[in-house]
Structure 1
Amino acid sequence: MDEELLSLLTSLVEIETENPPGDEAAAANFVYDWLESRGVSATLVEEPYPDRPQVAARVGEGEPSVVLNGHLDVVPAGDRDQWDHPPYEPTVRDGRLYGRGSADMKCGVALAMLATVEFADALDSGELDGSLVFHAAVGEETAEPGTKTLLERGYDATYGVVLEPTSLRTATSAKGLGWYEISVGGDPSHASRPDEGDNAIQNARPVLDALEAYDEEIRARSDSLVGRPTATVTRFEAGTKENVVPEGATITVDRRFVPSESVEAVDAEIDALLSDVAAEHDLRVEWTRTRVYESAAVPTDSEVAARFRDAAAERADVDPEPWGIRAATDVRNLVNDAGMDAITWGPGSMAQAHAYDEYIELSEVEVGYDILRSALRALFEDGGN
């Protein structure tokens, strides 16, 4: 494949940017220096966190304007003994590049960097009409306001592309995500005298049963593009010592919601559910929403979506039908906060995101860059109409 593209992708993957804790600074500086060395005037944006800079750039002026958005952070590699290929020693084997972030989403960042440089001269000179905006954001993996801050700083546009791995399909909608932490109370006692306490684990059982029933209930709802909402218990924590009856238990729920469901409506459902089970079983139950990614949707016939669907169908065996991504992404900020027509699109499989031995097919990366260039050129040449 193209040596510059492979070198850039490899360089990005080998920079460890795990979040938590949020260690994107080295990658941000690399991206900034790379763009500057190729004649693109970039900015290190030290908001919202001075020690975790973001990178933004704009080439060209006027309309049509397009944001290429990617995030620098990756999820932790976890147990490194489970990796056949060390997560931050990018390895090419059998046409694949292995490494944490190869699919999610250092590849997307690399393609955006190359496209920004490639289109800079034509846009700055007026050969092509319009402008291209580059984002290398922080904090996407933990719902932090990285992309939102870049948009507020003026790095917005009419159209947007969030370069997450979609296997080159064009997503015009994305599920939302809320994480809920539920606390169930009890009273401690010595385990030799369990009846003198009130076991929070036992108290949590009807709460877990109610959450299971709630998950079944909401799965009856559906969205034609992103599928069904879900409520999944992902963590359960209780107890301080082997011989102590636990005084508290904490349940974590991952609630995925479709574009027709609002965050406020989901909050109300969780509150009603827990109020009912607490009253029925005489329990002390409290909840808080710790994090949220709003859902987002744009018309399936949006101009940017049509351009990417057409380009992908011409150059690869990609389903051209309207589609939505089931994961939550920063596309919500482009659509909901900045009012942009934005899609989620990129090479790589979401099945590889957060997995051990994460990889991306290099042939798909090359085809993906060809599609990106073609779709952007079509937007600029036709004036976004």
Structure 2
Amino acid sequence: MAQTRTKSELAELIADLVAIETENPPGNEAGCTDYIIDWFDEHGIDADRVEQPYPDRPQVGARVGDGDPTIVLNGHIDVVPAGDLDQWSTGPYDAVIEDGSLYGRGSVDMKTGVALGMLAMTEFKHTFEGGKFDGSLVFHAAIGEETAEPGTKSLLEAGYDGDYGVVLEPTGMRTATSEKGLAWYEITVMGDPSHASRPDQGTNAIQHARPVLDALTAYDEEVRKREDALVGQAYATVTKLEAGTKENVVPEKAVITVDRRFLPSESADEIDDEIDDLLTEIAVDHGVGINWERTRTYESASIPTDSDFASVFRERSAAVADVSTEPWGIQASTDVRNFVNDAGIEAITWGPGDISQAHTYDEHVDLAHAADGYEVLTRALTDLFRSEP
């Protein structure tokens, strides 16, 4: 009966969280923060409203227990915009359950992970108070993960830290000990406007963008040769090209956006140098005015694949859900970098749900898989609190 009750509570909690619209941009997380704080209060847990880095976008930090080790359960409450509502079979915030799956924006990415963390806090509060074993559990409901804002970083800096961290993103319950980095570059190619009836009077920025695009294609082919055993290939993908103000005006600038996925062995500063060298050569060879900036960065991160902490999650995931125990890395970027790179905390990315559902229309999570994830999480935490790795 207890397991059935937990499954029901988990489904209800996920649905409540999904039903609260928290799109980012613009960064509408405050309503969800209020809900989580009230929910913790109802369950006898003091949760703090953390108003850094943005007072109008508060976060949640909470702690139960006062022993060692301290394990942090991290989730972000912002979601990407729902997009064209006509493409959804149900309303993106209706949290409809159909055929064992719950549908809605954020169901996978990552309010299921947030719900797991909330329920685990209540369970281990009673465990610690009962004196079965020692330890402490910290919870994060962070803002701004979808836009690389310092939500998780600021929670760690505010003292909601620990010895180990679990970023509860959907990995199909595989245990990721490394992740790719992400850097977005905005490249502006300059021209000179004129009326299209006198095109030779101006300089067409789109024409000047051609050698840049050709060079970026060659650069992508080169970086694809760089591989990591856990996270795969590096990429440099042109994702946007914007130019022109009116049909009959020669464009004075063209803006190219590049999505650069990089490996744990690479750094954003090194990639800056590569981009700068590439564009400088084009500017000189073709007489083109070019400016660039890195507009967003998620650094790559990794911990040793033989981490004892990671091994506990691998073993429990295999036992409950028949998940592979082979070392693995996630190709997306998560807030695990804030744990590993900024705070020096050993951390993994792990959670139930299919990451291919993230950011899609009709995003959904299998509730049976989510319940298995909760069982894995509580078993792994029990092992860790019984004997610190």
The reply on whether 1:312 has 2:308 as its aligned counterpart is no
The reply on whether 1:95 has 2:93 as its aligned counterpart is: no
Give yes or no for the alignment of 1:8 onto 2:13.
yes
- 2:241 counterpart of 1:198: no
1:281 partnered with 2:282 = no
Which residue in 2 is equivalent to 1:49? 54
CA contact (8 A) 1:305 1:343 kept: yes
- Give the match for residue 175 of structure 2: 170
Q: Which residue of 2 aligns with 1:152?
A: 157
Measured after TM superposition, the shift of residue 125 of structure 1 is 4.8
CA distance in 2, matches of 1:247, 1:26: 43
Q: Which residue of 1 aligns with 2:85?
A: 80
Aligned to 2:354: 349
CA contact (8 A) 1:278 1:284 kept: yes
Pick from 342, 355, 359 the counterpart of residue 337 of structure 1: 342
Q: Structure 1: which amino acid aligns with 2:101?
A: R
Out of 64, 67, 75, the residue aligned to residue 59 of structure 1 is 64
SS at match of 2:240: strand
Q: Spell out, residue by residue over 1:194-218, the C-alpha distance to the aligned partner (whole angstroms, 9 max, x if none).
A: 1111000011011011111101100
Q: 1:38 aligns with which of 43, 68, 72?
A: 43
1:365 aligns with 2:365: no
Q: Is 2:127 the counterpart of 1:122?
A: yes
Q: Which amino acid in structure 2 is aligned with residue 69 of structure 1?
A: N
Counting matched residue pairs gives: 384
Structure 2 residue matching 1:119: 3-state secondary structure: helix
Q: In the alignment, is the contact (CA less than 8 A) between 1:59 and 1:124 conserved in 2?
A: no
Give the drift of 1:279.
Answer: 1.1
What is the match of residue 142 of structure 1?
147
For residue 187 of structure 1, what is the aligned residue in structure 2? 192
**Deviates most, 187-196 or 123-132:** 123-132
2:31 to 5, 26, 30: 26
- Structure 2: 5+ residue stretches without partners: none
- Contact 1:175/1:258, CA 8 A, preserved across alignment: yes
CA distance in 1, matches of 2:139, 2:307: 21
CA distance in 2, matches of 1:215, 1:350: 25
Q: Residue type matched to 2:141 in 1?
A: A
What's the RMSD between the two structures over aligned residues?
A: 0.8
Match of 1:300, SS state, is: coil
1:126-160: per-residue Cα shift (whole Å, max 9, x none)? 42211100000000000000000000001111110
What do the CA deviations read for 1:97-137 (whole angstroms, capped 9, x no partner)?
Answer: 11000000000000000001100122245422111000000
- Structure 1 residues not aligned, in runs of 5+: none
CA distance in 1, matches of 2:21, 2:143: 13
Describe the superposition over 1:269-309 as per-residue Cα deviations: whole angstroms up to 9, x where unpaired: 11111111111111000100011000000011112210100
CA distance in structure 2 between the partners assigned to 1:211 and 1:123 by the alignment: 55
Aligned equivalents of 1:123 and 1:150: distance in 2?
23
Q: 1:24 Cα shift?
A: 0.1
**Separation in structure 1 between the aligned mates of residue 245 and residue 323 of structure 2, nearest angstrom:** 52
1:256 aligned residue (253, 261, 267):
261
Once residues 140 and 323 of structure 2 are traced to their aligned partners in structure 1, the CA distance between those partners, rounded to angstroms, is 26
1:70 equivalent in alignment to 2:75: yes
SS across alignment from 1:181: strand
Aligned partner of 2:235 in structure 1 is: 230
SS in 1 for 2:81: coil
Alignment match, 2:297: 292
Structure-1 separation of matches of 2:298 and 2:363: 24
Amino acid corresponding to residue 109 of structure 1 in structure 2: V
Q: Determine if contact 1:236/1:249 at 8 Å carries over to the other structure.
A: yes
Q: What is the alpha-carbon distance in structure 2 between the residues aligned to residue 219 and residue 83 of structure 1? A: 35
2:332 maps to 327
State the distance in 2 between where 1:304 and 1:150 align: 22
Residue 333 of structure 1 aligns with an amino acid whose one-letter code is N
Partner of 2:275: 270
Contact 1:66/1:161 (CA < 8 Å) preserved in 2? yes
Aligned to 1:287, what secondary structure does the other structure show? strand
- 8 A Cα contact 1:61 1:124, kept in partner: no
Q: Deviations over 1:241-285 (max 9, x none)?
A: 000000001001111101000111011111111111111111000
* SS across alignment from 2:146: helix
Q: d(CA) in 1 for partners of 2:130 and 2:248? A: 74
State how far apart, in whole Å, the 1-side matches of 2:334 and 2:108 are: 14
1-structure distance, mates of 2:241, 2:266: 26
Residues in 2 aligned to 1:195 and 1:128: alpha-carbon distance in whole angstroms = 79
State the one-letter code of the partner of 1:200: A
Residues 18 and 73 in structure 1, CA contact (< 8 A), matched pair in contact too: yes
The alpha-carbon deviation at position 319 of structure 1 amounts to 1.1
